[in-house]
Structure 1
Amino acid sequence: MNIAQFSVKNSVLVNLLMIGLFIFGGLSLLQMPTELNPEINFNWVFVNVFYPGASPTEVESLIIDPIESEIQDVDKIDEIQSTAGEGLAFVMVKFEDISDSEFREKFTDLKAEIDKVNLPDGAEDPIIDDFGSGDFLPVITVNMAYDIPEDNAQKIADELEEDLLDLAGVAKVQVSGLAEREIWIEVDPAKMNAFNITFDQIILALASRNLNIPGGNISIGKTEYLIRSLGEYQSIEEIENTIIRAPRGRFGNGIAESFVKIKDVARVNDRRAELSILSRLNGTNSITFSVSKNSDANSMDVIDGIKLMVKQYEDTVPDGIIFSFTNDNSVYITRTINVLRNNAATGMILIFIVLYFFLGKGNALLASLGIPISFFITFVLLHAVGYSLNGNTLFALVMVLGIIVDDAIIVLENCHRYRLQGYSSIESAIKGTMEVATPILASIATNIAAFLPLILLPGIMGKFMRIIPIVFSLALLASMFEAFFLLPSHYADWTIKSKTFKRGDRKFFIAMRRWYGHFLVKILRRRYLVLLLLFLVWISSFGIIKLVGVNMYGEEDFDQFFVLVRFPQGTSLEESNRIMKKMETEAVAMRNDWHVQDVVTNVGLLQGNEEWVTAKHVGQLIIQTVPSEEREVSIDAILEELRGRIEHISGPTSVELEKISGGPPVGKPISVKVQGRYFEDIKAASLALQDSIHNMEGTKEITDNFPPGKQEIRIVVDEEKAAMYGFTTQYVAMNVRYAFDGADATEYRDGDKEVDVIVKYSSFNRSSLDDVLNLRLTNLSGQTVAMRDMVHFDIAPGPTAINRFDQKRTIMVTGNIDENKTSLEKVNGAMSKLFPGLEEKFPGVTFKIGGQFEEFANAFKDIGMLFGLGIILIFLILGTQFNSYAQPLIILTTVPFALIGAMLGLLISGNPFSIIAMFGFVALAGIVVNDAIVMIDFMNRRRAGAKTTVLQSWRSIVNSGTLRLRPILLTSLTTISGLIPMAMGIGGQSGMWSPLANVTLYGLIVSTILTLFVIPCLMAVLDDLKGVRKKARLV
């Protein structure tokens, strides 16, 4: 008993199974997490080490060098990037494309190696995080603008931060514009010297006083008591009254010694820390909360919870508090789902119309039923393995929408052909299904063979796109199950002869077949000329590539863009803020006429697609527009309008306007690593490169990540003099740091809050160089010595940041291009030609292209290799099916001709050649061979068991072509109908996915037309080569 017989004889089981699939599929769909993008682990590790008061050079030598040396032997590391900044070391470790489980092992190994590093005194413990798309990137940013006293706003912000962290699914909350509470012990150096008190004594007194120590247990009578020594601070007054030293006699100056307390030498100040980042919303001071979720949490649920909480706050906070949201992923998720859902719904309607016209109402309903069944089976499988419902998942379903009905169409068309010959419904279902089972299996196998190898695509791109071939393959396998197991029973039970189908078969299709048959005979007579012309057309189509732009992921309108501003090194936060207000004013003025919804200003923070910098000399505007469907102008037009309004503002060294990029991070269009040993040489080489790039047409916003450093006061301790006075070099240097940057002495617990207690000079005593030189230290003998007696100093510019790549000092030269004037390939090609001359001019300096061009080149190579693997798999499948070497090659000729249509599709639609479009080329390889498989299979059936003559050879070609004309047109038209909405933007436009849809759509249109004529011609040529007919003879 074959599968079709089992299906028609167990109709109740089939129907119950179908109902179960609808129920479990629906439940799975409802339970799947909803995300914008797939949850992926980038295999990146971030290491941050804070070293307050240290210069970038010190951070490089004392922290980054030891860490890089220790971790370089950890297996599977791909590259190491590091930055030494003022008081901060940042190391990013990128691992190779390894599994998540192996990455967790390597992450543990990496932490163990970092723990071995002997960090300098004063450096904080390393903060080590792995970078994942789910628990690192914020899903929404809450902006709280306030026009009330700052202390009141800070209190509300503290409460909101705590409440946000308590929400289910929230992993972390990054707060900007909120100053942490601190307790400053501001020491008066004159009083400290008068009492012969040192910084170390003050710090030790605070730390040793602020303790609760358990003392064990004691039994008194029948009761056992717990003993605890209570010493933790309960108030600020207790801190002020902390005893530094008890009485021991008289000081050397004759003053009678008494208790020396903190309040005797310092002022205790309960205050907020100095803000390092200023935030405003539409010109009003604000506090921002960037909220990230746990990797297993549902983005929509988390965001809904956040919005509900903020709504509750809005009902209770005083007047003067305004909340708004930016970077709201729920907007993009909803829009993406709506667009793809509308594309799918429109595609299904078009597919049904095509099926109705070709097959009649009954058969159209049966074929269309395969779409939801296949989708629900796919949902069950995806939910079972833990995948989310995201843009990539939905796109794969929309893409496969028109393909999953192909096997049902072939089955139904063949079953109905038997029905018209007088067979019963059951006989027609069984015979019709089993006769086309082999070509359907081959067709689905070739589709999967072309697309499934893409799961092997390495790197971040592979992880980001991997779900697409998985969903594509699962949906096709589900459709095959539906066509072989469910459809025969449904056809036998439900189908009736369709008058529309029958009438169309006798009139329209008979006429079409007759025309096609006559024209095919004419084409076959001139087959060599036809093939030569098509080959020349194919060769000339390569010129289209130069007319199509290149973009990594296509252009997606995210209703938001950044203005990234850099000022000269050494610029104060106040000066940066003054200039940022000018830009902010221009942006806020666009709220009325340019669809700008909100303007968020950050001073001291720069956070684009590729970087995150906190420094006094940087700032940014985040421009949030109204949703794209509610505005008449594009995000590009708004961006360029703002550019024109702010370009006259003087002060910044660079101003970049940057849109949010779709997909994972890939770098900028222009990105060059300039590496060497000495920064003087690297900087000179990078400036020479920038000058050359500036002269290239279409380049803009050229800059580097190594601006001039700010002035440093370099204090050098005279080791001999310090030793003569009884001090070590380390002791002298640490006291300089204590005096000016401060030292964390202990923590004051206020309720459930822990507040840092910091000891430092009072602001009055740390405002000049003389204050450094007048700092007096007391040795063990009680002798006080001025700092100027043990040190000398010089003033020189020092680097603000030192960047390294794979342990080499590196300057990154970056920039953007105007795609209307130049291309990614043209600019990077021109830069490559500059490198030999620059390397000769600057010995020891090397140049390497990175960024988008490197990523695109790597992706093109990887996808090209996997495309080749897919072609080999298709050939193996077809060779096995047809038991031939030549016929699979004939079928595969449809692929290069489909590429003609694909490139035309990009040109006509105006879409760029992107990585997403490459996936369309790969998908085409599996899709376009389907029609040729069916046609050649029927040709072989016509010839089976008979002696092939010239006449029979031609008749088999023409008859097979005319007989399979309808299913070929029908399967192609349904696939085309499923893609039209996405390609044309019917129901909503997706800049990311539209190129892929256009590639597949136009490639399929061209390949379908050519298949009807090229395959017969090639089969005739194959017959010629076999000697079946003489080339000179005409029929």
Structure 2
Amino acid sequence: MHTLIAAALDRSRTTILILLFLLCGGLMAYIAMPKESNPDVAIPIIYVSVTLEGISPEDGERLLVRPLEQELRSLEGVKEMRSVSNEGHASVTLEFDAGFDAKVALADVREKVDTARSKLPEEADEPTVTEVNVALFPVLSVGLSGPIAETELVYIARRLKENIEGIAEVLSVEIGGDREDLLEIVVDPQVLDSYGINYNELFNLVSRNNRLVAAGSLDTGAGRMSMKVPGVIENLEDVMSMPIKVVGDSVVTFADVAAIRRTFKDPTGFARINGQPAIVLEVAKRSGANIIETIDQVKALMEQAKPLLPPGVEVSYIMDQSQEVQNMLNDLLNNVLAAIVLVLILVVASMGMRSALLVGLTIPGAFLSGILLIWLLGFTLNIVVLFSLILVAGMLVDGAIVVSELADRYLQQGQTPRQAWSNAATRMAWPVIASTATTLVVFLPLLFWPGVVGQFMKYLPATVILCLLASLAMALVFLPVLGAVTGGQARPQAAAPNATGNAYRSVLITLLKRPGLTLLGMLTLVALIYVGYGRFNHGVEFFPDVEPESAQIWLRARGDLSVQEKDALLQQVEKQVIGMPEVKALYARSLAQADGQLGADVIGTLQFQFVDWHQRRPANDILAEMSQRTAGIPGVVLEFRKQEQGPTDGKPVKLQISALDPAQGEQWVERIRGEMQNLGGFVDIEDDRALPGIEWRIKVDREAAARFGADVLSVGNAVQMITNGLKLATYRPEDATDEVDIRVRLPGNWRSLDQLGRLTLNTPAGQVPLSNFVDLQPAPKVGTLRRVDGDRTITLQADLAEGARLDERLRALREALGDVPAE
């Protein structure tokens, strides 16, 4: 180290120039580094989904899930394979081992899915393969609400989506609450019967008249002419003039028998913001884009669009991650400035103004040098990096203070400034290096933390290590050069020790006289601390329970409720909590069917932001008041959930129950739930079993149907006329980005179970009632089916009560359950 320090002192101008380059480079890196909320972590999860409208959960498991599982289970590195089958949809989620190669895994999954495609029903949509990426999650949610028609609100959201996606830093915009377009043809069944229209004939006629025919070109020798046969449906007039029945010279079109309208498919939920109908734009930024600049551009665009919106439409920001990042940046700047001021005050009091200024300069120097190194490694300025910079702020001046104090002493002894700083840096080099190394080795193992959490947290040790190395360079290289160049005189001798110093000296002398007893006392104190912590500790949690900025209310209810009935229950809860002064942007959403992250009995959610923490009560008190306000609402169970910090995987208690006999598995679930309630300490217990209900099964007597010239397909088409409608074709209007289904269905007053028995089929034997060969039978409803590694599985989850410890509660639960059978 002596050679390095001497070389730096001999080339003081070059060293100072390097320091200036580091400071300027660090400042430019701080400005240029992308600011974002969450680190760009590769989550080892790939999601495969496939849809087949109208398929039951049992058929979806047999026809969609199992063929995909058979191909995907041969992949290497798969830690767990979870499958879900519900009405009209099936999915397989693959969780890989930590450290997987995302690109290779994604390519392998797509290859296996392509192989399994031939085993899936032809009617199924093309399977989609999606990689889960935290960096692609929404960073801003923009709510549009107001007392206007839903159709107008949806079209406004779509126009805004196109404009927002035109911003270079924006990756995509999803519309929460968007409705799928539909061209609905409503026909009276009696009119169809009078014309003798057959469903298969209707489908074939429409399909054959909605074709893009490549007619080619004609070369006559005198020129080349392109030929075109325009046959694709482009607008409502094309549908109205479509022939659906031809008898001799007579042609029957849709205009003769039906009413056609452009509308939306049946709703799967409703959304409101502060009690008004709403649509939400969820904005995701590109990887590496600056979250603050991106959201500022989106907000600027929304400000430009506000004067053009219809009267009454309000724009609100439900979720804005840039605020959290901006607050962290402000905290970082405040901490750095506070550290510099405090160091100046302390060092001025003990070592003088000149030494204080030199030591204080090492703090921004180490910070900016560390930020430059972080930028060179390709890191973004995310929350973990910002927290690490704040954490390391108090560790950057230790070496500089030691070197500066020794140089000041050498100056007092009459050495020149160059000799004093050179000797001080050389003398304290290895002690300072050893001191820094002891801190580095504490953080070094965190770089090899496995799993998703390790990928998330690796930014902390990397940032701390780089900043400490930068502080080491500041203390041993740049600080001595600055001290030698600026010169200075020796500080006067310190006054005699005060009362505190004398007391410390006497205690130290006493302890040094009895080293054995001192060591024994220290070891005893350490042992008592360990024993006390083991006996009275409050458990372990990954992230502390800090004051949240948002919260949610989950509504749970059971029964075959329609989406309108679920929304009515949600509105009752919404009315009780709306208007609270400590809550802003109350976002309510009812669900026809909960997604995989929510329980099967969740019918709606209320999401809201709190006002600033210094302007309100604690979140627990606010949620307690909400619980009191909503206590009298019958038919629902409410679960209040605060914002979770850091990477999370749901509730802390998660048990998976599998059994060869599904009935036995449900019995064990009931037993475990009962034991949890008896033991206490577990709250908000839930499981993902199918909700009790009734489904209607249409039993077709194939032999009897064949006598009338009917079959299962014709019966299914008749039933579709009552439910979602019979899909005839698709078309792409100019104002739509996706293809729009053309469906024919019966009027609203015909869509009931009673009318199903009155339907007739046009067969070669004439008009035949369905009741001649169809029997409508009630049966227990089969809800969502879940599988883990190929076996049907029930997942039971629970939160912990206040003060309960996870390890202790699980140990008590194991003892209460006794021996659990392996199968």
TM range (shorter): over 0.9
Q: Which residue of 2 aligns with 1:833?
A: 815
Letter in 2 for 1:82: S
Q: Which residue of 2 aligns with 1:334?
A: 326
Counterpart-to-counterpart distance in 1, 2:264 and 2:616: 45
Q: Give runs of aligned pairs for residues 464-483 of structure 1, distance below 5 A.
A: 464-483=456-475
Q: Secondary structure at the match of 2:442?
A: helix
> Are 1:675 and 2:658 an aligned pair?
yes
Counterpart-to-counterpart distance in 1, 2:255 and 2:312: 39
Identify which range, 465-474 or 292-301, moves more after superposition.
292-301
Q: 2:533 aligns with which of 523, 531, 544?
A: 544
Is the Cα–Cα contact under 8 Å of residues 673 and 812 in structure 1 kept in the other structure? yes
Q: Which residue of 2 aligns with 1:436?
A: 428
Deviation of 1:565 (Å) = 0.7
Q: Secondary structure at the match of 1:119?
A: coil
Q: Which residue of 2 aligns with 1:880?
A: none
Structure 1 pair 507–221 and aligned structure 2 pair: CA distance change class (3 A): farther
Deviation of 1:470 (Å) = 0.6
Q: Which residue of 1 aligns with 2:634?
A: 650
Q: 1:761 aligns with which of 745, 755, 758?
A: 745
Is the Cα–Cα contact under 8 Å of residues 586 and 609 in structure 2 kept in the other structure? yes
Deviation of 1:223 (Å) = 5.3
Q: Which residue of 2 aligns with 1:576?
A: 566
Deviation of 1:15 (Å) = 1.6
Counterpart-to-counterpart distance in 1, 2:593 and 2:121: 29
Q: Secondary structure at the match of 2:580?
A: helix
Deviations 1:686-745 (A, max 9, x none): 122112212233432222222523211122344444556666656654664466333443
Q: Which residue of 2 aligns with 1:625?
A: 610
Q: Secondary structure at the match of 1:327?
A: strand
Deviation of 1:234 (Å) = 3.4
Deviations 1:548-582 (A, max 9, x none): 35433112333210001122131111211112111
> Are 1:399 and 2:375 an aligned pair?
no
Counterpart-to-counterpart distance in 2, 1:412 and 1:793: 91
Q: Give runs of aligned pairs for residues 251-650 of structure 1, distance below 5 A.
A: 258-497=250-489, 499=491, 502-504=492-494, 506-508=495-497, 518-542=506-530, 543-545=532-534, 546-591=536-581, 595-604=582-591, 611-612=597-598, 618-629=603-614, 631-650=615-634
Counterpart-to-counterpart distance in 2, 1:60 and 1:282: 40
Q: Which residue of 2 aligns with 1:87?
A: 88
Q: Secondary structure at the match of 2:391?
A: helix
Counterpart-to-counterpart distance in 2, 1:684 and 1:493: 81
Structure 1 pair 143–315 and aligned structure 2 pair: CA distance change class (3 A): same
Identify which range, 138-147 or 149-158, moves more after superposition.
149-158
> Are 1:823 and 2:805 an aligned pair?
yes
Q: Secondary structure at the match of 2:691?
A: coil
RMSD: 2.8
Q: Which residue of 1 aligns with 2:200?
A: 200
Q: Which residue of 1 aligns with 2:106?
A: 107
Is the Cα–Cα contact under 8 Å of residues 41 and 133 in structure 2 kept in the other structure? yes
Q: Secondary structure at the match of 2:466?
A: helix
Is the Cα–Cα contact under 8 Å of residues 554 and 602 in structure 2 kept in the other structure? no
Is the Cα–Cα contact under 8 Å of residues 817 and 823 in structure 1 kept in the other structure? yes
Letter in 2 for 1:520: L
Structure 1 pair 203–627 and aligned structure 2 pair: CA distance change class (3 A): farther
Deviations 1:307-358 (A, max 9, x none): 1122122222222111111111122222232234323332332233222233
Letter in 1 for 2:617: V
Q: Secondary structure at the match of 1:816?
A: strand
> Are 1:694 and 2:677 an aligned pair?
yes
Q: Secondary structure at the match of 2:603?
A: strand
Structure 1 pair 95–366 and aligned structure 2 pair: CA distance change class (3 A): same
TM-score (norm 2): 0.93
Counterpart-to-counterpart distance in 1, 2:409 and 2:18: 28
Q: Give runs of aligned pairs for residues 801-812 of structure 1, distance below 5 A.
A: 801-812=784-795
Structure 1 pair 277–306 and aligned structure 2 pair: CA distance change class (3 A): farther
Q: Which residue of 1 aligns with 2:244?
A: 244
Deviation of 1:497 (Å) = 3.0
Structure 1 pair 418–809 and aligned structure 2 pair: CA distance change class (3 A): same
Structure 1 pair 269–632 and aligned structure 2 pair: CA distance change class (3 A): closer
Structure 1 pair 120–468 and aligned structure 2 pair: CA distance change class (3 A): same
Structure 1 pair 533–616 and aligned structure 2 pair: CA distance change class (3 A): closer
Deviations 1:735-771 (A, max 9, x none): 6446633344333332242451332431447523354
Is the Cα–Cα contact under 8 Å of residues 574 and 606 in structure 2 kept in the other structure? yes
Is the Cα–Cα contact under 8 Å of residues 188 and 765 in structure 1 kept in the other structure? no
> Are 1:59 and 2:45 an aligned pair?
no
Q: Which residue of 2 aligns with 1:868?
A: none
Q: Secondary structure at the match of 1:92?
A: strand
> Are 1:173 and 2:157 an aligned pair?
no
Q: 2:646 aligns with which of 646, 658, 663?
A: 663
Q: Secondary structure at the match of 2:546?
A: coil
Is the Cα–Cα contact under 8 Å of residues 569 and 707 in structure 1 kept in the other structure? no
TM-score (norm 1): 0.74
Is the Cα–Cα contact under 8 Å of residues 576 and 617 in structure 1 kept in the other structure? no
Is the Cα–Cα contact under 8 Å of residues 726 and 745 in structure 2 kept in the other structure? no
Deviation of 1:540 (Å) = 1.8
Structure 1 pair 558–174 and aligned structure 2 pair: CA distance change class (3 A): farther
Deviation of 1:589 (Å) = 3.4
> Would you say how many aligned residue pairs link Structure 1 and Structure 2?
817
Q: Secondary structure at the match of 1:271?
A: strand
Letter in 1 for 2:496: K
Counterpart-to-counterpart distance in 1, 2:255 and 2:473: 83
Q: Percent identity?
A: 26
Deviations 1:233-274 (A, max 9, x none): 232121021123544x4xxxxxxx622333345432222222
Structure 1 pair 776–124 and aligned structure 2 pair: CA distance change class (3 A): farther
Deviation of 1:6 (Å) = 0.9
Q: Give runs of aligned pairs for residues 22-41 of structure 1, distance below 5 A.
A: 22-41=23-42
Counterpart-to-counterpart distance in 1, 2:593 and 2:168: 29
Deviation of 1:620 (Å) = 0.9
Structure 1 pair 532–490 and aligned structure 2 pair: CA distance change class (3 A): same
Deviation of 1:441 (Å) = 2.6
Which is helix-richer, 1 or 2? 1
Structure 1 pair 765–776 and aligned structure 2 pair: CA distance change class (3 A): farther
Q: Which residue of 1 aligns with 2:75?
A: 74
Is the Cα–Cα contact under 8 Å of residues 199 and 738 in structure 1 kept in the other structure? no
Structure 1 pair 166–743 and aligned structure 2 pair: CA distance change class (3 A): farther
Is the Cα–Cα contact under 8 Å of residues 81 and 92 in structure 1 kept in the other structure? yes
Counterpart-to-counterpart distance in 2, 1:763 and 1:671: 47
Deviation of 1:466 (Å) = 0.6
Q: Secondary structure at the match of 1:52?
A: coil
Counterpart-to-counterpart distance in 2, 1:817 and 1:447: 35
Identify which range, 694-703 or 319-328, moves more after superposition.
694-703
Is the Cα–Cα contact under 8 Å of residues 196 and 782 in structure 1 kept in the other structure? no
Deviations 1:508-545 (A, max 9, x none): 49x87776555434213322222222222212212235
Structure 1 pair 244–368 and aligned structure 2 pair: CA distance change class (3 A): same
Is the Cα–Cα contact under 8 Å of residues 183 and 741 in structure 2 kept in the other structure? yes
Deviation of 1:488 (Å) = 2.2
Gaps of at least 5 residues in structure 2 are: none
